[in-house]
């Protein structure tokens, strides 16, 4: 409330319409959350993908460790 949208847009080098869009999205998400609509499906998907990638990384690290041990024998 202290600065206008135009001032903020100039200050940060973005279009006024972008700030208006962000504000609208923020308010809509807040209303949906207060109404009980959970938007964490994307978060859960990312968590599952993260776990899958950690598992894959562990497998690759184990394979690399075994290959190094075989080479050293």
Query: For the chain, what percent of residues have pLDDT higher than 90?
Result: 70
What single-letter DSSP state applies at residue 3?
A: S
pLDDT of amino acid 39: 60
Q: Render pLDDT for 30-49 as a digit per residue (tens, 0 to 9).
A: 888 888 766 666 788 899 99
Phi, psi values for residue 3, rounded to 5° = -120, 150
Q: Where are the alpha helices (DSSP H) in 1-73?
A: 5-12, 16-34, 41-72
**pLDDT at 55 exceeding the cut of 70:** yes
Provide the pLDDT for residue 49: 95
């Amino acid at each position: 409330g202290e600065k206008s949208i135009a001032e903020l847009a100039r200050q940060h080098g973005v279009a006024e319409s972008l700030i208006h869009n962000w504000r609208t999205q923020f308010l809509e998400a807040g209303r949906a959350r207060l109404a009980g609509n959970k938007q964490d499906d994307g978060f859960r998907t990312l968590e599952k993908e993260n776990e899958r990638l950690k598992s894959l990384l562990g497998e690759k690290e184990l394979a690399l460790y075994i290959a190094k041990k075989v080479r050293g024998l």
